[in-house]
Amino acid sequence: MKSRKVTKAVFPVAGMGTRFLPATKSIPKEIMTLVDRPLIQYAIDEARAAGIKEFIFVTSRGKSALEDYFDHAPELENTLKRAGKTELLETLKSTNMDSGAIAYVRQNRPMGLGHAVWCARRLVGNEPFAVLLPDDVIASEKPCLQQMVEAYEETGGNMVAAMEVPPAKASSYGVLDIDEDMGSMVRAKGMVEKPKAEEAPSNLAVIGRYILSPKVMNNLNKMKQGAGGEIQLTDAIAEEIGSEGTGVYGFRFRGQRYDCGSKAGFLQATVAFGLSRPDLSEEFGLYLDDVVAQQKAAQ
C-alpha cells in the first residue's frame, strides 16, 4: 500500500505538569532541561528527522515561554556574532523555527489527550499526521518517528509506538490487544486505555509516538468520555480497528524510552544523555563511578 507523506505533527503541551511542582509554577514542563536542551527540543528534532514540516502545538495558559523559545533572538544572536562565538550561534540558530512552520492552538480546558489532539483538527485537515508526546524521550540510533514513518510507508492505516512493559505497569498505559505478531510490528485487534492490571490484554504498551489517519479526528468529534472521564486518544484510534476502520499497528521501535513525565524517569534520562555526550561523558562517568563506589563502601 502506498500511503500519503506525513508532514504535520501535533505536540500536545497543554498539561500543567503538576508532578514537577514547584518547578512548573512558572516554567512549562516542556522547557525543563535535559542536559542543556529543553525536553521539547528533543521531540522537535525527532520530528524534523522524520520529515515533518509543520509543527502544531496544543498549548494552554501559562505556556508563553514555549512560544518564545522557538522564536528568533536577534539581540542574543548579535552578541554572539560580535563575540565570534560561532559554535554557540549555530546551536542557537538550530532552535529557530521558520515563520509559518509552527502554529499554536489553545486547549481551554484539560479534557484529556484525545481532546488536546482534536483541538488541532483544522490545522491538520484531511491528511495523515503524527503526534509526539514530549514527555516520552527516546534515545536511538535512528530517531523513533523516522523508524515509524518508514514502516508506515508499507502499512498505511494508523501506527503507534509500542514497548513491552512489566505486567504490573500496564495499567499506566494504553495497551494493545494483539491480533497478529510480525516481530517488529503487530496488528492490533483492540486497544485499551489504562486497563486494570488483571484486565490488560497484553503487556505491549503504547508509547507517545503516533502516525494517525485523519479519520481519528472524526472519531474524536464524538467526544466520547473514556478512562478517568477524559477524552482518550487511545479510544479514537481503537475505533479504526475492524473491517470498517483503517487498521492499527503497534511498532516495536529500536531504542530506549525514558518517561520524563516522572521524576525518576527524568533523572535516568539525565544520566543516560549526559553519559552519551562526548563533551561530558568522561568527567560525568568518573563522578558516577565515584558515587557508586562510595555507596558500596557505606553498605
Residue nearest to ligand G1P (CB): 174
Within residues 201-220, the interface with ligand G1P by CB under 6 A covers 205-208
Give the range of 51-59, 88-96, 200-208, 218-226 binding ligand G1P by CB under 6 A: 200-208
Please report how close the Cβ of residue 110 comes to ligand G1P at its closest, in angstroms.
11
Contact map string, positions 151 to 170, toward ligand G1P, x by CB under 6 A: --------------------
Least Å distance between CB 175 and ligand G1P? 8
DSSP string, the chain: -------EEEEE-----GGGTTGGGTS-GGGSEETTEEHHHHHHHHHHHTT--EEEEEE-TT-HHHHHHTS--HHHHHHHHHTT-HHHHHHHHTT---TTTEEEEE--S---HHHHHHTTHHHH-SS-EEEE-TTEEEE-SS-HHHHHHHHHHHH-SEEEEEEE--GGGGGGSEEEEEEEE-SSEEEEEEEEES--GGG-S-SEEEEEEEEE-THHHHHHHT----GGGS--HHHHHHTT-STTS--EEEEE-SSEEEETTSHHHHHHHHHHHHHT-TTTHHHHHHHHHHHHHHHHHH-
Residue from the set 115, 130, 132, 136 that interacts with ligand G1P by CB under 6 A: 136
Query: In this complex, which beta carbon is closest to ligand G1P, that of residue 56 or of residue 80?
Result: 56
> Which string of x and - marks every residue 78-117 that binds ligand G1P (by CB under 6 A)?
-----------------------------------x----
Considering beta carbons, is residue 143 or 261 the nearer one to ligand G1P? 261
CB of 114 to ligand G1P, least distance (A): 8
80 versus 147: smaller Cβ distance to ligand G1P = 147
Number of residues lying near ligand G1P (CB under 6 A): 13
* Residue 177: partners with Cβ closer than 8 Å, 6 or more residues away: 188, 189, 190, 191, 192, 201, 202
Among 41, 146, 147, 234, binds ligand G1P (CB under 6 A): 234
Q: Using CB under 6 A, pick the residue from 157, 174, 226, 247 that binds ligand G1P.
A: 174
43 versus 233: smaller Cβ distance to ligand G1P: 233
One residue of 131, 133, 204, 269 binding ligand G1P per CB under 6 A? 133
Over the window 42 to 61, marking each residue x when it contacts ligand G1P by CB under 6 A and - when it does not, the resulting string is --------------------
Cα gap 142→183, rounded to integer Å: 18
Of 80 and 217, nearer to ligand G1P (C-beta) is 217
42-52 in b/e form (b: 16+ CB < 10 A) is bbbebbbebeb
Tell me which of 173, 253, 266, 273 binds ligand G1P, using CB under 6 A.
173
Positions that interact with ligand G1P (CB under 6 A):
113, 133, 136, 173-174, 193, 205-208, 233-234, 261
